[in-house]
Chains A and B, each alone.
Chain A
Amino acid sequence: MRVGFVANEVGIGLWRNLSMTVSVVLVTAVSLTFFGAGLLFQRQVDLLKDYWYDRVQVSMFLCGAESDAASCATGAATDQQKQTIEADLGGPELAPYVEQWFYESQQEAYDRFTEQFADSAIVENVTVEQLPESYRIRLTDPSQTDVVVAYFAGRAGVEEVDDQRDLLDGLFRFLDGARWTAWFIAGFLLLASVLLVWTTIRLAAFNRRRETGIMRLVGASKFFIQLPFMLEGIVAACLGAVIATVLLLTGERLLVRGYLAERVRVADYVGPADVFAIAPWMFAVGIVLAAVASLLSLQRYLKV
Chain B
Amino acid sequence: MIQFDQVTKVYKATQRPALDGVSAVIGRGEFVFLVGSSGSGKSTFLRLVLREERASRGDVHVAGRDLARLASWKVPALRRQIGVVFQDFRLLPTKTVFENVAFALQVIGKPRHVIDRTVPEVLQLVGLDGKEDRRPDELSGGEQQRVAIARAFVNRPAILLADEPTGNLDPVTSVGIMKLLDRINKTGTTIVMATHDQDLVDQMRKRVIQLDDGLLVRDQARGVYGAGV
Contacts and interface: CB of A to CB of B under 8 A. Distances in A.
Interface stretch (A167-175, A217-225, A289-297): A217-225
Given A1-B115, A219-B80, A222-B76, A214 B103 contact: yes
B109 A1 contact: yes
A220 B79 CA distance: 8
A210 B106 contact: no
A221 B103 contact: no
Contact of A224 (B79, B109, B112): B109
B90 A214 contact: yes
B80 A218 contact: yes
Nearest to A224: B107
Interface residues of B, number: 27
Interface string B72-103: 11001111111110000010100000000001
Given A1-B111, A224-B109, A219 B92 contact: no
Interface in B51-87: 72-73, 76-84
B155 interface: yes
A214 B154 CA distance: 14
Interface in A1-51: 1-2, 5
Given A1-B112, A1-B115, A220 B107 contact: yes
A218 B50 CA distance: 10
Given A1-B111, A219-B108, A214 B79 contact: no
B200 interface: no
Contacts of B109: 1-2, 224
B106 A219 contact: no
A215 B155 CA distance: 13
22 contacts: A1-B106, A1-B109, A2-B106, A5-B106, A5-B107, A210-B90, A211-B92, A211-B103, A214-B90, A214-B92, A214-B104, A214-B107, A216-B79, A218-B104, A218-B107, A218-B155, A219-B81, A220-B108, A221-B108, A222-B72, A224-B107, A224-B109
Interface of A: 1-2, 5, 210-211, 213-222, 224-225
